[in-house]
Structure 1
Amino acid sequence: MASFDESVVGRWSDERRFDVTAEGLAAYADAVGSPSPVYAVVPTMELVFAVAGTAAPADLRARVVHGQQDLFFHRPLRVGDRVAVRAAVVGLHGKRSGTVATIRVQTRDARGELLNEQYVTEFYRGVPTGLSVGTPAPALPAEPPAGEPVRTATHPLPADLPRRYADASGDHNPIHLDDGAARAAGLPGVIVHGLASLAIAGRAVLPDAADVSRLSCRFTRPIAPGDTLTTRVWANERGYRFECHDSAGATVLGAGLAEA
């Protein structure tokens, strides 16, 4: 089996340009049920995949799952924005059960002002290493929220959600679109994109999405299209904590944070 390339850690990519259009924003909102700040991932999608591939060859990429996502917002993306995106693998850290790759992404406007910054964590299942290179993603809460939630909302996940989300986001990973590919990856069948679940959860978490400065979660378990996503929300001093569960009560998004 090929190994990770440590030499790419900290090496920023060239910038890529992306035009934010009314059609693109509308397609994303239609896929997840409402406008969402998680649309910020769309301009970065292709570049994140390309940069991740510089650290891990194809035979390792077949073992990767999305570990967590951490988005920091300075202002929302708007129709007419022409943004510049760059990314870098900033950390490779081994565990007994696999290896974590952390990718940092920055999106700037035409004047060079930072619009948002993202940390994408990938976990390579069954690929343990002794690596400890670079920096990990910002910490998410280690303990579940305490007390009773301030609100709970349940959203059904349509059977065609993975296809619609793939077309709206640009993420056509076959585990979200093809049962055979999903089973070959050790899954029971097609699963919903984690970021689609996060965007849908945001409808319950965020009273006013325009006010969010940070939105983060850990993807703890896959959820299938046709299931239901239940989001439980707790208030804290900086905004909200949240968790999401499937119809069986299993946690599918954990360590959720939404900060003003």
Structure 2
Amino acid sequence: MPFDESTVGRWSEPRSFDVTPAGVAAYAEAVGGPSPVYVVVPAMELVFTVAGTAAPAGLRARVVHGQQDIFFHRRLPVGETVTVRAAVLGLHGKRSGTVATIGVRTYDAGGALLNEQYVTEFYRGVPTDLRLGTPSPTLPTDAPSGPPLRTATVPLPVDLPRRYADASGDRNPIHLDDEFARGAGLPGVIVHGLASLAVAGRTVLADGTEPARLSCRFTRPIAPGDTLRTRVWAEGRGYRFESVDQAGDVVLGAGLVEIA
């Protein structure tokens, strides 16, 4: 079995992260403006560390980001120190590969929960029969209906992967090294899924709404230099959204925003 089943449900020790004004500003500059997706940054390094305890290093080249779910409870305190913990919450196999669900909890200095995150990783071509722990939160399976509330098309700069890596700490070589990306079965360097979500989120939350939940499925890679066209539908007290590339292929699917 290529995965270490004993890691499921084992939370890491807390790690500290300084939420600096400069760091928040650098992230905003990379993605085109302020974004609630910045909350992923304090846990970025820890997520990679925890994921690495479940799978050998040789499998990491086969990982793609499948889904991201962020539940917001309080704003990150800029200028203060937060603590983060992470754990592999579940390992679930299928014929085409294995899904690892990684949970993240972020707390302020007083121990109050700021946000909860669920990072879904998919190990392509590594099938297993694992059914351990908790799967990722569910997302809508039906397509939004009716005309969208708003639509926006944003060009993705050619240097976005480098800028996002510098601002977020996510230096996965599939986003920075063409040769490595092709060796991993990709057409070349691809944009970080979370960078695409941050860009799309600015369209979704263009009215200044603060989300209680922001989630999506990463359905297809997008190359730097392409465009991201995001369509937003009102649903209940929140929104549904999806983003497509220049060819019209869905890049971010099952997008969901819930409002407190």
Q: Distance in 2 between matches of 1:66 and 1:153?
A: 24
1:190 and 2:186 aligned: no
RMSD over aligned Cα, in angstroms?
Answer: 0.9
For the residues of structure 2 that align with 1:225 and 1:60, how far apart are their CA atoms? 25
Give the C-alpha shift of residue 207 in structure 1.
Answer: 3.1
Secondary structure of 1:144's partner?
coil
Q: TM-score, normalised by structure 1?
A: 0.98
Structure 1 match to 2:77: 78
- Are 1:44 and 2:37 an aligned pair? no
User: Which runs of structure 2 are paired with 1:37-186 in the superposition (5 Å)?
Assistant: 37-186=36-185
Q: 2:28 maps to which residue? A: 29
- Rounded Cα–Cα distance in structure 2 between residues aligned with 1:181 and 1:229: 24
Q: Tell me by how many angstroms 1:209 deviates.
A: 4.9
Structure 1 residues 14 and 209: alpha-carbon distance in aligned structure 2, compared to 1, 3 A threshold: farther
Aligned residue type for 1:5:
D
Q: Write out per-residue CA displacement over residues 150-189 of structure 1, whole angstroms, 9 at most, x where no aligned residue.
A: 1100000001100000000000011101110110011111
Post-superposition offset of 1:137: 1.1
Deviations 1:178-206 (A, max 9, x none): 11011001111110000000000011101
**What residue number does 2:253 align with?**
254
Matches within 5 A, 1:233-248: 233-248=232-247
Shift of 1:79: 1.6
Query: How many angstroms apart in 1 are the aligned matches of 2:37 and 2:112?
Result: 19
Following superposition, the deviation at residue 87 of structure 1 comes to: 0.4
User: Partners of 1:170 and 1:152 in 2: how far apart?
Assistant: 30
Deviations 1:206-249 (A, max 9, x none): 13556211000000000000000000000001310000000000
* The 10-residue stretch of structure 1 (76-85 or 23-32) with the greater mean CA deviation from structure 2: 76-85
In structure 2, the residue corresponding to 1:104 is in which secondary structure? strand
Identity of aligned residues (%): 76
In the comparison of the two structures, how many residue pairs are matched?
259
Listed as ranges, the gaps of 5+ residues in structure 1 are: none
- Find runs of 4+ consecutive structure 1 residues off by over 6 angstroms: none
